[in-house]
Amino acid sequence: MVFYIHQYKPGTFNASVSGESGSSTTKWYIRNDNQGGSWIEQGSWQNDRNVSYTAPGNDFSIKCYIIWSNGSNETDIRSVTINAPLDLSIYGPAYVDINSTNSYTAMPQDGTGSYTNYEWWRRNDGFEIKGTPGTKAPPIGEWMYMSFLAGQKTVNITSANWDFSLKCRVTDSNNDTATEIRSICISGSKNKEGGKAGSSLSRSMPECVTLIGNYPNPFNPTTVIKFGIPEKAHVKLQVYTITGKLVAELLNGEEWAGYHEVHWNLSNSAGGPLASGLYIYRLIVGKTQLTGKMLYKK
């Protein structure tokens, strides 16, 4: 028999088989190749010569089994590799001291080929510790391109006396780009009057909902996710796998205005042990939704 498979639109594949004419029995099977899965028969495709399959984002194989009218049978298998889209994370401390120098590394993954054209920006996030030495704060909310860091995967950033964010953009061999933002807070003394989420820092209130990030990152098995809200609000903090499966809901309730931190310990996960890899955490405050990425390494 002759077996074809081709992609006719992103994520959707056509498979067709041809051979002896006349009566025959045709069966189709799908296997998830990323999870070492077993063959699953596609009953709705039985006796079809042309089928369509929308991939869920993982590598897969299609198997066709035919019993021809003369009693002979044939089996053929085609495997398809899905290229995951380019993704980017920035690793480095989320809390730093005033006028300290810290390293931040852009970590691209997936995409196509090699990674080039690292570009970096810096933004004043609107909080300044008064009465301390430091450079004059630039306008709040404006991204300042740092041309002197172009092409560098790891950069050294000297903090001032104001909170800031870093943004990095990277390009792969297919000219696809990915962008990531990491927010950094200037360390302050602790305040006993925290919300349920954890310690609230003795700093002025954030001007907007802020997801500072998690530290350490990568981590094993505990990390701390830090965020800020300008007023009392209902807050959700959820953790997902990269395939979109919810694995933890760390917060779901009212929190006081201010800066907060939430500890997540994977060794105490209610759903049992979790696999190493990339996880997405999502902060939901009213209509605002912010996401971050963290890497769990056993």
Question: Is residue 145 very low, low, confident or very high in pLDDT (cuts 50, 70, 90)?
Answer: very high
Between 187 and 145, where is the model more confident? Answer: 145
Cβ–Cβ under 8 Å, residues 237 and 249:
yes
Average pLDDT over residues 136-151: 86
Average pLDDT over residues 202-223: 78
Cβ–Cβ under 8 Å, residues 93 and 155:
no
Predicted pLDDT of residue 158:
92
Decide if 83-187 and 194-298 have a common fold.
yes
234-264, pLDDT tens digit by residue?
A: 999 999 988 888 889 999 999 988 888 898 8
How many residues are listed for the chain in this entry? 298
Domain boundaries along the sequence of the chain? 2-80, 83-187, 194-298
Listing from the earlier edge strand, what are the strands of the sheet with 73-80?
Answer: 40-41, 25-32, 60-67, 73-80
Q: Per mean pLDDT, which range of 15-19, 192-196, 197-201, 289-293 is the poorest?
A: 192-196
49-82, pLDDT tens digit by residue?
A: 788 877 766 678 888 888 877 778 888 887 777 6
Question: The domain 83-187: what is its CATH number?
Answer: 2.60.40.10
Between 25 and 58, where is the model more confident? Answer: 25
What is the average pLDDT value for the chain, to the nearest integer? 79
Between 220 and 95, where is the model more confident? Answer: 220
3-state secondary structure 204-257: CCCCCCEEEEEECCCECCEEEEEEEECCCEEEEEEEEECCCCEEEEEEEEEECC
Classify residue 136 as exposed, middle or buried by CB count within 10 Å of its CB (0-12, 13-18, 19+): exposed
Average pLDDT over residues 225-240: 90
The most confident of the ranges 1-10, 40-49, 180-189, 277-286 is: 277-286
CATH fold of 2-80 reads Immunoglobulin-like (2.60.40)
CATH architecture of structural domain 194-298: Sandwich (2.60)
Output the CA–CA distances (angstroms, integers) from residue 190 to 194, 200, 245, 259, 284, in the order listed: 9, 7, 35, 10, 25
Predicted pLDDT of residue 106:
92
Average pLDDT over residues 96-124: 88
Can you give the pTM of this predicted structure? 0.49
Residue with structure tokens 């305040």? 191
Question: Is residue 47 very low, low, confident or very high in pLDDT (cuts 50, 70, 90)?
Answer: confident
